[in-house]
């Protein structure tokens, strides 16, 4: 993949606290290995976690407060688009009428990424049945844009 350097920025203060060699080397929720690209004075204030990435500006945002409430919403809620139901249409028990623009709320067990962990949450499904958002019962350490979720 090569290198495409950029700044490592403290998400809370906006301070530049390191330099990375490419966004693709870092994932949201990552803790292990991030200290290698940070300035020595910053590493002493860790542990640090990757909380976001800005591809347009080649910035990796990190925080040493990832387990506190500052990032609770980012770790427990996410939006869904282009939901694909196996049957091709949303199940009748999770969708209102064709003209219903209201959201319906449904409890699900969810699989967010590889590994054995199943989590619980609430799906707020839009009236069309193909977009919505999820609120997890417990915070997740590695939610990232572009991930798949299976209900």
CB 122 within 8 A of CB 106: yes
Please provide residue 136's backbone torsions phi and psi, each rounded to the nearest 5 degrees. -80, 150
Q: Which residues of the chain have pLDDT under 70?
A: 66-74, 93-103, 141
| 111 DSSP 8-state letter | B
Question: What HEC string does 7-59 produce?
Answer: EEEECCCCCEEEEECCHHHCCCCCCCCHHHHECHHHHCCCCCEEEEEECCCCE
Burial of 66: CB neighbours in 10 Å, binned 0-12, 13-18, 19+: buried
Residue 72: its pLDDT value, please? 61
Residue 103: its pLDDT value, please? 63
Closest CA to 65 of 75, 55, 77: 75
Model confidence pLDDT, tens digit, residues 52-61: 889 899 999 9
User: From residue 110, how far is each of 9, 134, 140 by CA, in Å?
Assistant: 32, 10, 12
Residue 101: its pLDDT value, please? 53
């Amino acid at each position: 993949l090569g290198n495409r350097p950029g700044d490592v920025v403290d998400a809370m203060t906006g301070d530049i606290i390191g330099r990375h060699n490419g966004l693709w080397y870092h994932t949201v929720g990552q803790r292990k290995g991030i200290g290698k690209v940070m300035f020595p004075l910053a590493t002493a204030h860790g542990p640090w976690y990757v909380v976001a990435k800005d591809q347009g500006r080649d910035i990796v945002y990190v925080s040493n407060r990832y387990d506190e409430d500052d990032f609770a919403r980012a770790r427990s809620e996410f939006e869904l688009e282009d939901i694909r139901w196996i049957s091709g249409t949303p199940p009748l028990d999770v969708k209102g009428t064709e003209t219903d623009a209201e959201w319906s709320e449904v409890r699900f067990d969810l699989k967010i990424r590889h590994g054995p962990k199943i989590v619980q949450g609430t799906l707020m499904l839009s009236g069309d049945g193909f977009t919505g958002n999820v609120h997890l019962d417990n915070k997740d350490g590695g939610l990232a844009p572009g991930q798949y979720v299976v209900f």
